[in-house]
Amino acid sequence: MVRVSQPHVLRNAILALAVGGFGIGVTEFAMMGLLQNAADDLAVSISDAGHVISAYALGVVVGAPVLATLGTRIPRKHLAVWLMVLFTVGNLSAFFAPTYPWLVLTRFVAGLPHGAYFGVAALIAASLAPATRRAHAIAMVMMGLSVANVVGVPAATWLGQTFGWRWMFVFVAFIGVLAVVLIGRIVPFLPADPGASPLRELGALRRPQVWYALLTGVVGFGGFFAMYSYIGPIMTSVTGLDAAWLPLVVGLYGLGMVLGNLIGGRLADRSVIGGIVLGLVVTCALLAVFAVLVHWPVTALLLVLLIGASGSVLVPGLQARLMDVAADAQTLAAALNHSALNIANALGAFLGGLVISLGLGLVAPIVLGSLLAAAGLPILGLSVLRQRRTGSASA
């Protein structure tokens, strides 16, 4: 494990890695605010357009374990650069997609490097940071994703509404190129683990605690995405806001993510399990309140901010938990966190679209989200009980 004595080296490395996370955050979340625009242009329904979101998420789910496992013997800095190159090419190809099926395919390809990138970026940050600040360093890398929702996603939403929704992908490709340059020039070289191998990494999948952590993220965070995947139609059709307000909506959510990351990183450095529990409980409660108060613009906007914060509190804790229980399979474990979160994305978008298509209305995904967040708690409880019986987090 490499630690750096100069704080500016760690700070600059985190900044470079966070730029890549910024681009990922824009492409993942801006599509939600532009969902209606894409549906109208492609002549498909809102629920069908939601499959574009699910396709990206499924790309993350597939790409995270595959690319992370295959890249175990590549120096981490080089792996991060090549993953960002693939991300950039995938997003640019979405701009030229001529039909709905092609767009779905390009979104799947663009999602492939997402999880592996965040996994290796988290490992780089954790390797460089003091041991007592590990979760905080991971949270700062994830801050790129959060800041994207404050600045990048509103800008991309405005760009898509003004010049056409496809221009969002050009914006993302530019950020990807910038990230490649910064990572290549700033991030310190870290050699690959000499004992690393695909088989050793796959050994993480034999550990029940890894599956408990993944399932907690899938179910608990799925509740958040059941609501947020349809935030555009919810805010315009239920709350009654004009579509011009959607950049503000996603900006408030992004500000909540920034706050949640800051809080979640510090909570996880004190208690990983405690931070996850708090995130699930508060998200469940806030979504339940949102289902009631979504009809009034002021309360709806405030709750979007708070839900963004509560959901983001989960991420550093889940990342640290997976790294704790994976023992020597760190690369795959770090990447699998983002597989879990994007299975949650796909599951939430699918179930949210399902309850809408069943005629239950646009409030139904919010109620469903609250129930899913609550369902993550007993899964985490089983993990803790098993740990107490075995006396080891990685058993």
> Both tokens of residue 266?
């510090």
At residue 161's C-alpha, the angle toward residues 171 and 21, to 5°, is 35
In 3-state terms, the chain is what percent helix, strand and coil (to 5)? 85, 0, 15
pLDDT of residue 5: 46
pLDDT of residue 394: 47
| Chunked mean pLDDT (size 10), the chain, 395 residues | 60 89 88 78 75 82 83 84 93 86 90 88 81 75 80 85 88 94 86 64 76 89 86 89 83 84 84 89 94 93 92 84 75 76 81 89 92 92 86 54
pTM of the prediction?
0.75
What is the full DSSP assignment across 126-179?
A: HHHS-GGGHHHHHHHHHHHHHHIIIIIHHHHHHHHHHH-TTHHHHHHHHHHHHH
What is the full DSSP assignment across 29-41?
A: HHHHHTHHHHHHH
pLDDT of residue 113: 92
pLDDT of residue 193: 65
pLDDT of residue 136: 77
Residue 372 and residue 344: Cα distance in Å, rounded?
Answer: 10
Residue 267 and residue 178: Cα distance in Å, rounded?
Answer: 32
pLDDT of residue 138: 79
CB atoms within 10 A of CB 131: 9
pLDDT of residue 311: 84
CATH fold of the domain at 7-390? Growth Hormone; Chain: A; (1.20.1250)
Residue 300 and residue 290: Cα distance in Å, rounded?
Answer: 7
